[in-house]
A and B are shown apart, each in its own frame.
Chain A
C-alpha cells in the first residue's frame, strides 16, 4: 500500500468527506481518508432524521442520504480510503500512525493533514451529576446509535436532561418506537438546541420541556429506577421545595458536545479553551503548519451543511499547502470577541486572502437577545467593516457573518478586528 499522500483526512463525517473532496478538486493528487468505523459517513449514519441539506442543496434529507451524496463523490474522484482503521498518533512532521486488522501497524506520511475527528458528548461526570451509578444512564448519541444502528431500545421510560438537538431528536425517535419520554429538563432559562427541533420533536409529540430544572440525583443501584428533579435559579442554586421524583428506567444526557482533539494535541496543535477546538486561521489551518481542522473538531456547529462548507475550505487549504513548494505566511489579523460574543471562528485571518474569497465568521452569543440584533465586525477604531441584521441572538444558535472581498482595503489598514452582537 501507499505510504505517502498529499493530504490525509482523519475522519469521514461531513467535515472529512468535504475536505477530501475539496483537496482532490483543488489539485491534491493522492488523498486518503482514514475512518475508524466500518463505513464512510461518521455520525451522519445514525442520524436517520431529516433536516440535512437545506442550506447547501435546498433539499431536506436524512443523514445517511446526505452522507451518500458525498460518499459517491469521494468514490468517483478516486480518493483512497482506509476503513476500520484507528489513528493512534500524528506528529508535527505530519507522520500518521494507524492500525487495523488487515494491514496491522500502518506508517503514513502526508504533506498536509486535515483533522476531522468530530466531537464527543459531555458525560454525566462532566456535569458532576450526583447519585448512584446504575445501568440506564446514556448520552443521547449513544442511545441514538443503539436505536438507529443496532436496532436496540435502551429503555422504555425516559427522562432527558438537556435541550440539545440530539436529545430532542431522540425524544421524538423514542416516542415513535413506543417508549415514553416523561420529561426533558433544561438547566438554562433558554433552549440550548434549535427552535425547529423543539417544535418538531417536542411540541408536536406532546413532550414536556421544563427550563431551569435539572437532575438532582440518580436513583437505583442496578438499573435507573427514578431521578430526582429540582428547579434552579439563574446561578444553578436549587430552589427549596421544588424536588420531584420522576420514575423512569433511563436517563439520557444531551448536555453538550466537545470537539475531540486528543490526536490534535499529540501533534502540538494549540486549543482554544472556549471552543475546545484548535485556534485556526481563515483556511482552517492550526498553529502547526500543514495541519488543518474541519468541522466539529474546531467548534460545534448547529447544521451539518456548515460543517460541509468548513470542510471544503479546510480541504482546499490543505491542497494548496500540499502543492506549494514554500508557504509564505502573509500578514494576519486577529479576530477578537467583543460585546456578547463567546467565541468567534476563525481566530485570525490572512489579510491577502480577502482578495480571492469572502471569509465566513461563525460565533456564539453569550446571553440571549430576543429582539432584532446587529452583528458587526469593527476595526480598532470602532469602524464597521461588516454587519448583518438578525431577528434575535441565542446562545443555542450560531451567528454567521461574512467579510466580503469589498472590505479588502479596510481590512488591510486595520490592526485588529472585533466581533459584537447588539440590540438594534
Chain B
C-alpha cells in the first residue's frame, strides 16, 4: 500500500461528492472512489430534481434537520458551484376535506421543522397561480422555499470543485472490504488494489448497507431499493404556467406523483414507489407507466400522452434506521454517525428522498462528526469554493453565442438538434477536470440526446467525437462503461478495404 490518505469517500454520488467538496476545505489527503465509469450514475442520476422545502420529514429526524438546513445552503452553494437552482416554491394540492386535514398537518410539521413562509391558500388562489391544476382543487399548501435544481450538474460541480481543491477521484474502483487493525480501520481493499487511510466515509448509496456490514456495523440495517419511474414531456409541447412543483396530497404511499418543471425546460411526471429485488433494476414497467401517467393526469389534466419524449426509472436507497432520538417513532431515517463499534468510519446510510436536497447539509454533519471525534481539521489557506459552470450554448444571448463561436469555432456546430448542444460543449466536457468519456456521461453534462429524438441524430456524431478525442476505436466507445459498447465491428466492405480484388477472388 503505497498511498495513504486521510479520508477515503466510498461513492461519488451527490452525497459522496458533497462530502468530498466540503472536506476539501481542510488540510486532508482525500480519495473518492466510485465503482462505476462515471460519477453520479446511481440514485443521483434519477430523481425529481426537487430541492424540497422540508415539511414532509418527521420533526426531529435527520431527514428533517438536514433538509431544512440544506435549503438555507442552496442559494449560496448554487452560486459558488455554478449549479442551476431556482427557489420557485412548491404546492401540495388538496381536493377533499380529508386532504385539507393533511395540509394542516403538513403545515404544522413544516413549522416544527423550521420551514419559513408556508401558508394554505384557497382552491381559487391555486387555480389563479396555476390554471392547469385539476379543477376540483379546494386548497393548497404553498411552500415558498421549495425549489428545483439540476441534479446532474450539482453532482458534477461538487465533485469537480473537490478535484480543483486536491481531492483525487478513482473511477471503476469498487470497494471490496475494510483493512482493520483491531477495531481501527486502516484502509480499504478494492478491485483496483488496496488503499490506506485513517478515515472512511461510507457514501455508497444503495450499497451502503453492504459496506457498513463489512465493518460489522449495524448488521440489521438493510437497504431495500425502491424504484421510482418518471416520464418527461417535450418542452415545445407542454409547459406549466410558471416553474413550480405540484404535489398531490401525500398518502401512506409517500409524497405521490408530482408534476414539476425542470431547469432543463421539460415538465417531469413521477415518481411511483415500488420495492424491487435488485439494486440494479431500473426497468420501466407497463404498470408503472400507467400508474404515474394516471397520477400526473389527475393532478394536471391537460398533460397529453403524445408529448412524452423520455422515460426513466431510479432507485431510492430506502433504509430501516430509527431516528437517533428515541422519543421519535420513525424507522426510515438517514444514518449520519461515527459508530462506536469501529474506529475510522463515518457512516451514512438510507439516504433516500430528500437526499439530493440534504446532501450539502449531510456533508456539514460529516465534518461535525469528525470534529466531534477529535479530528483536528485545519482549513486550507487557498481553498477555492468557486467552480464556474461551462458555457451552455442554448442559454446564451445571440451576442454571446456570436462571441463564443468567434473565440472557439467548435461552438458553431450543433451536434444535438433538439437541445441545440454545440460540439464545443462536448469537447469541453471530454476535457473537463472529471473527463466525460461515455455517451451517457456527456448526456448528463450537456443534456444532448434528451430531447424529442432521444439521441437519434447526435449519437453517430458523438461516437466519432469521443473516438477522435480519446483515441479510441468507435467499437470501444460505450454508453455507460464496459459491456455497453454501442458498435460491434466495421461493415464488411470497410474491413476488407485493404484487400485487393485478387485477394477477394
- Interface residues, chain A, CB within 8 Å of chain B? 36, 84, 86, 88, 97, 99-105, 120-121, 123-126, 128-136, 138-139, 141-142, 145-147, 149-156, 177-178, 216-217, 221-223, 249, 262, 265
Interface pair B412/A104, CB less than 8 Å apart: yes
Q: In whole Å, how far is B310's beta carbon from the nearest beta carbon of chain A?
A: 5
CB-CB nearest in chain A for B398: A105
A39 to B217, CA, bound (A): 63
Q: Is the CB of B453 within 8 A of A120?
A: yes
Chain B residues positioned under 8 Å from A100 (CB to CB): 412-413
CA distance A177 to B311 in the complex (A): 32
* A154-B483 in contact (CB<8A): no
Nearest CB on A from B481, distance (A): 7
What chain A residues lie within 8 Å of B418 (beta carbons)?
Answer: 262
Contact of A135 among B289, B406, B460, B479 (CB under 8 A): B479
B120-128, B138-146, B488-496 - interface stretch: B488-496
* A125 contacts B485, C-beta separation under 8 Å: no
On chain B, the residues within 8 Å of A217 by CB distance are 283
Say yes or no for B285: interface residue by CB 8 A criterion. yes
Q: Which 5 A-B pairs have the closest CB atoms?
A: A105-B402, A222-B483, A135-B479, A151-B494, A101-B412
Further pairs besides A125-B309, A125-B311: 7, Cβ < 8 Å: A121-B456, A145-B460, A150-B474, A151-B493, A152-B491, A156-B488, A249-B488
For residue A248, give the distance in angstroms from its CB to the closest CB of chain B: 12
Q: Judge whether B26 is part of the interface by a CB distance below 8 angstroms.
A: no
Residue from A216, A221, A262 in contact with B236 in the complex, judged by beta carbons closer than 8 Å:
A262
CA distance A120 to B451 in the complex (A): 12
B312 at the interface (CB under 8 A from A): yes
Q: Does B96 contact A (CB under 8 A)?
A: no
Q: Are A105 and B491 in contact (CB under 8 A)?
A: no
Q: Residue B282 at the A interface, CB < 8 A? A: yes
Closest Cβ of chain A: how far from B61's Cβ, in Å? 33
| Given A104-B405, A131-B284: A223 in contact with B456 (beta carbons within 8 A) | no
Task: Say whether B286 contacts A36, CB under 8 Å.
Answer: no
Beta-carbon nearest neighbor of B482 in chain A: A222
**Given A99-B401, A177-B492, A265-B236: A222 in contact with B484 (beta carbons within 8 A):** yes
Interchain CA distance A223-B485 in the complex, whole Å? 7
CB neighbours (8 Å) of A178 from chain B are 492
Report the separation of the CA atoms of residues A150 and B480 in the bound assembly, to the nearest whole angstrom.
21
Contact call B456/A141, Cβ cutoff below 8 A: yes
- With contacts A134-B484, A154-B488 taken as known, whether A126 is within 8 angstroms of B457 at the C-beta atoms is no
Interchain Cβ contacts under 8 Å between A and B, 19 examples: A86-B414, A99-B401, A104-B406, A123-B454, A125-B308, A125-B309, A130-B288, A131-B283, A132-B282, A134-B484, A135-B478, A142-B459, A152-B490, A152-B491, A153-B490, A221-B280, A222-B479, A222-B481, A265-B236
| Chain B minimum-CB-distance residue to A178 | B492
For window 442-500 of B, CB contacts with A under 8 Å fall at: 452-457, 459-460, 463-464, 474-475, 478-494
**Interface residue tally on B, bucketed by range:** 35 or more
With a cutoff of 8 Å between Cβ atoms, the chain A residues found around residue B236 in the complex are 262, 265
Given contacts A125-B309, A128-B289, contact A154 B284 (CB under 8 A): no
User: Does the CB pair B312–A133 fall under 8 Å?
Assistant: yes
A99 adjacent to B454 (CB under 8 Å) = no
Which residues of B sit under 8 angstroms from A223, Cβ to Cβ? 483-485
Closest Cβ–Cβ distance, residue B256 to chain A (whole Å): 21
Name the B residues within 8 Å of A126 (CB-CB). 308-309
Write the nearest CB–CB distance from B402 to chain A, whole angstroms: 4
Docked pose: A249 CA to B485 CA in angstroms: 11
B364 beta carbon closer than 8 Å to chain A: no
CB-based contact B414/A36 at 8 Å: yes
| B190 adjacent to chain A (CB < 8 Å) | no
A102 to B305, CA, bound (A): 41
Tell whether A123 pairs with B453 under 8 Å between CB atoms, given A105-B405, A135-B478, A135-B484: yes
Q: Which residue of A lies closest to B229 (CB)?
A: A130
| Assembled-state Cα–Cα distance A150/B398 (Å) | 33
Q: A120 to chain B: which residues have CB within 8 Å?
A: 452-453, 456-457
Contact of B283 among A123, A132, A136, A146 (CB under 8 A): A132
Interface residue B410 (Cβ < 8 Å from any Cβ of A): yes
Q: How far is the CB of B478 from chain A (nearest CB, A)?
A: 7
In the bound complex, CA of A142 to CA of B310 (Å): 17
Q: What residue in chain B is nearest A117 (Cβ atoms)?
A: B417
- Min CB distance B489 to A, Å, is 5
Q: In the bound complex, do residue B413 and residue A84 qualify as a contact, i.e. CB atoms below 8 Å apart?
A: yes
Minimal beta-carbon separation of B109 from chain A (angstroms): 36
Q: A36-B417, A86-B414 are in contact. Are A155 and B488 (CB under 8 A)?
A: yes
Q: With A and B bound together, what is the CA distance between A132 and B229 in angstroms? A: 11
Which of the residues B283, B285, B410 comes within 8 Å of A101, measured between beta carbons? Answer: B410
Could you say which residues of chain A place their CB within 8 Å of the CB of B474? 150, 152
Residue numbers in B under 8 Å from A177 (CB-CB): 491-492
| CA gap between A121 and B457 in the complex, in Å | 10
